[in-house]
Amino acid sequence: MNNKFSLSFKSSLVWFRRDLRCFDNAALFSALKQSQSVFCVFIFDKTILDLLSARDRRVQFIHQSITELTSELEKLGGSLIVRYGNSEQEIPELAKKLKVNAVICNHDYEPQAHLRDETVRDALSQFDCDFLSFKDQVIFEKNEVLSLAGTPFSVFTPYKNAWLKKYFAEGNDFFSKPYPVERYAHHLSAYNETRIPSLSEMDFDTNQSLVSVLQGGTSAAKAIFEDFLNRMHLYDDTRNFPAIKGPSYLSVHLRFGTVSIRQLVREAVNSTRTAAHMQGAQTWLSELIWRDFYFMILHHHPRVVEHAFKPAYEAIIWESGVKADALFSAWCEGKTGYPLVDAAMLQLNQTGYMHNRLRMVSACFLIKDLGIDWRWGERYFALHLNDFDLSANNGGWQWAASTGCDAQPYFRIFNPITQSEKFDAEGKFIRRYLPQLAKLDHKQIHAPWKASRSILKEAGIVLGETYPFPIIEHDVARTKTLARYATVKVSKKNAP
């Protein structure tokens, strides 16, 4: 069955996943428009949750978002059924119990999600229940932006140009128009089973200190977005400096759909039309297009989840054994001896967030200074980032490793000291997460081991005790990395 609004159902079930909002929601709008009555459900999926630690902040974020979504749906005359179990079992069972004609949701592009959805689709077909899904978390997906030859792009700039051309060809923000859910909200049906399982019932901590750091729900997303709108014009100038308020801080809300990508793109495009805001808005719009780009790459090349986008780079021999384990542990714990890298890792470990510039710096350090397989770092980020998104995380790590599409050349290796001097010149960010270095001046703080013994003593620093010696010498590591990558014979025929 195709996804056309002309279809009509007596009743349907909307399955919320990565779209935790009731406004401008493609699946909810479609269900309401096509159905006489619409039920709504969210599953705390054990298949996913069982892999997470009890202190995973994302579960608290989702729980907050579900609580608010429940309230918003009730205001519209509906309700939210919340279950804790395996989606492959819970969705078909609920659909059968409610006697709905269709289960409707929004696309999820990850390989494991495809398998889950096919399992659900097959189960629903056993009792003639349709399964429909819609595009919601991107502007353009799958084959919607292709080269003139009809093939997927593998370089960002041509993709971006084609994306912009397609977007503006329709005019009037056609591709980012909101779905008017409220117009058909009277088709929502309430259900008497709406209890939300507590975090403790699902074996997750209810640590209030985590809640204060990360607020879920559409109201939190709205407040963050409104704040960013007031400084979007500065985005191009401020986004690379971790000590100042430069990013939008909307990535986790985009990840879980408590904000609409269509709204963000509309605002970005509208701001590009104002001379004073143009540069900042254009740069931010470009970042949103990168997001679409990586979703497209994942769709066409799902093998990137496990393998290098450029097959030739699979020949790289990474560090292994006890040495690699020790280097990796030091990186994870923020004990490399390079302050900017360590501060970045401590920010991640303590808050679940890492500034985008620091993601590049820390990833490059792990791969090209320590010689560790990029997949190790990718998995660590996946476990700890609040805004973890498979496509963007994989794309970012493969960019840093020079193994991905449109990645930095393998010989371009970030120097962690110069990166620190350039993007945290006064050491404000470093001092925030490494207070033991606070008494060093602006020059010394980037490389404490270069300071004299007297200066270190005056600052209360004992290298090897209060702060580690560098675990690697950058210049030596750089030479080794160039040799490591030189074994790869890169040619056009290696490209997928």
Whole-number Å distance between alpha carbons of 421 and 441 = 12
Per annotation, catalytic residue among 141, 207, 318, 415: 318
Q: Is 449 among the residues known to form the active site?
A: no
How many helices (H) and strands (E) would you count in the chain?
21, 5
What are the backbone angles phi and psi of residue 81, rounded to the nearest 5°?
-85, 125
Whole-number Å distance between alpha carbons of 339 and 459 = 15
CB atoms < 10 A from the CB of 420, how many?
A: 23
Nearest CA to 70 out of 199, 217, 272 is that of: 217
Contacts of 57 (CB under 8 A, 6+ apart): 210, 213, 214, 352, 386
Residue at token pair 């819970």: 90
CB atoms < 10 A from the CB of 486, how many?
A: 10
Quick one: tokens of 326?
Answer: 């020790």
Quick one: tokens of 346?
Answer: 């401590």
User: Kind and range of the H or E element at 401?
Assistant: helix 390-401
Q: Is 376 among the residues known to form the active site?
A: no
What are the backbone angles phi and psi of residue 37, rounded to the nearest 5°?
-140, 145
Q: 249-254 — which CB contacts under 8 Å span 24+ positions? A: 249/224, 250/221, 250/224, 250/225, 251/387, 251/389, 252/58, 252/61, 252/214, 252/353, 252/386, 252/387, 253/220, 253/221, 253/224, 253/225, 254/137, 254/291, 254/387, 254/389
Q: Is 290 among the residues known to form the active site?
A: yes
Whole-number Å distance between alpha carbons of 218 and 21 = 7
Per annotation, catalytic residue among 15, 374, 376, 399: 374
Per annotation, catalytic residue among 72, 110, 287, 421: 287
Q: Is 170 among the residues known to form the active site?
A: no
CB burial of 90-104 (b: ≥16 within 10 Å; e: otherwise) equals bbbebbeebebbbbb
Per annotation, catalytic residue among 86, 207, 356, 494: 356
Nearest CA to 252 out of 388, 438, 130, 399 is that of: 388
Residue at token pair 């428009």: 33
Nearest CA to 62 out of 218, 247, 222 is that of: 218
Whole-number Å distance between alpha carbons of 381 and 332 = 10
CB 96 within 8 A of CB 120: no
Per annotation, catalytic residue among 15, 290, 376, 399: 290
Whole-number Å distance between alpha carbons of 38 and 11 = 6
Contacts of 418 (CB under 8 A, 6+ apart): none
Task: Give the catalytic positions in this structure.
Answer: 287, 290, 318, 356, 374, 397
